[in-house]
């Protein structure tokens, strides 16, 4: 292989220069990025949203019956 083909083959590795990798590692280890978090669970959020909507609906029905509107 020629030198140009070798450079093309290595370009997909996405490796950084050591000083750039050090900057990335420092950024990821401070502030908001330093805290380990549980993975996001969209199903739990959806269930919570449905529970809140149903709760408000039942509460509004209760208020309407108590006020004699419904």
What's the pTM? Answer: 0.51
- For residue 51, the model assigns a pLDDT of 98
The tally of domains found in the chain comes to 1
Query: SS3 string of the chain?
Result: CCHHHHHHHHHHHCCCCHHHHHHHHHHHCCHHHHCCCCCCCHHHHHHHHHHHHHHHHHHHHHHHHHHCCC
Digit-coded pLDDT (tens) for 12-45: 566 889 899 999 888 888 888 778 888 999 999 9
- Which residue range is the domain that position 44 belongs to? 3-67
Contacts of 61 (CB under 8 A, 6+ apart): 70
Mean of per-residue pLDDT scores for the chain: 84
- For residue 28, the model assigns a pLDDT of 84
- Strands in 2-69 per DSSP E: none
């Amino acid at each position: 292989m020629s030198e140009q083909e070798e450079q093309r083959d290595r370009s997909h590795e996405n490796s950084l220069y050591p000083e750039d990798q050090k900057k990335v590692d420092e950024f990821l280890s401070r502030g908001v990025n330093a805290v380990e978090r549980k993975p996001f669970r969209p199903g739990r959020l959806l269930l919570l949203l449905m529970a809140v909507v149903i709760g408000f609906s039942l509460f509004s029905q209760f208020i309407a019956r108590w006020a004699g509107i419904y």
